[in-house]
Amino acid sequence: MPTTVLVPVDGSDRGFAGLEYCFASFPDAVPIALFVADPSHDHAATVGSAESPLERATERGERTLERATERADDRGRELRTVLRTGTPHTEILAVADEEDVDHVVLGSHGESPITRPFLGRVSEAVIRRAPVSTTVVPEPTAALAERDLPGEILVPLDGSEQAEAALAYALETFPDADYTAVYALDLPFDRPRAEVHGTYLEPILEDRQRRAEEILESATALAGGRDATIETETAPGSPATEIVDRADEYDQLVMGSHGRSLAARLFTGSVAERVARRSPVTVTLVRGAPA
């Protein structure tokens, strides 16, 4: 269970949504609100202004952190604040390392011409490079307030150690939640199952179904070992599509994060990254294998 949680805030509603998620989800953790003053993105500059871009960015950071502290006070929570200057994602990763952070919570909002779905550039850089588990909150504070967290959690499984770690994380961190584990069959053909019987495709289907049963039985056993129950289901399509299509039926997603092309600690798996980009609800990407 996270004990020191870093929450970057930028003054936007989505940034504060990350803070609200942290308050609701990690009652025993010490949150650190971080504002990174980036004078290179000064949108308030005017000709003849007496203040430098750095001074304006710093003042904005101080105001934002004051608002974060007020939110913490309203909830009776302790909150540490940090103000840094530099490139946001670089400073976020540096503070995560310096403060021995074990979880990062990010509000996400797009800054590209693609209106949705799209992670903000800072969020995208952090989830790719953070050495710890990361939660991406794509919802505004008003929508988040309507959720009864931890609520119903969807945990996608693929048989990997990272996916098992995600399930273990969900069970340990959110003991009062309701859990559903889903395995996507990801069949290499697009035909109704009834048409597969008796063809050369039938052994492929049977193999995928057998693997799904084994993985979901393992998930049930893992939950049972923690005195929890879990619903299980299979999905016929590709993992990212099936997970995102189901996301709005749940309050949040918890899934494993693992690289398949470069170093695992630098890049999330392609499925995890696509889900984090497209999910309409909060997604936690869990790094590391279970103990």
pLDDT at 124: 80
**What are the chain's domains?**
1-146 (3.40.50.620), 148-291 (3.40.50.620)
pLDDT at 259: 40
- Measured distance CA(262)–CA(25) in Å, rounded: 32
pLDDT at 123: 79
Q: How far is CA 104 from CA 52, 113, 192, 245, 286, in A?
A: 31, 26, 42, 25, 11
- Measured distance CA(221)–CA(225) in Å, rounded: 6
Note the residue count of the chain.
291
The token duo for 88 is 């946001």
pLDDT in tens, 161-174: 999 999 999 999 99
Spatial contact of 140 and 282, defined as CB atoms under 8 Å apart: no
pLDDT at 261: 38
SS3 186: coil
Low-confidence ranges of the chain (pLDDT < 50): 47, 110-118, 189, 191, 200, 259-268, 290-291
The pTM score is 0.86
pLDDT at 277: 87
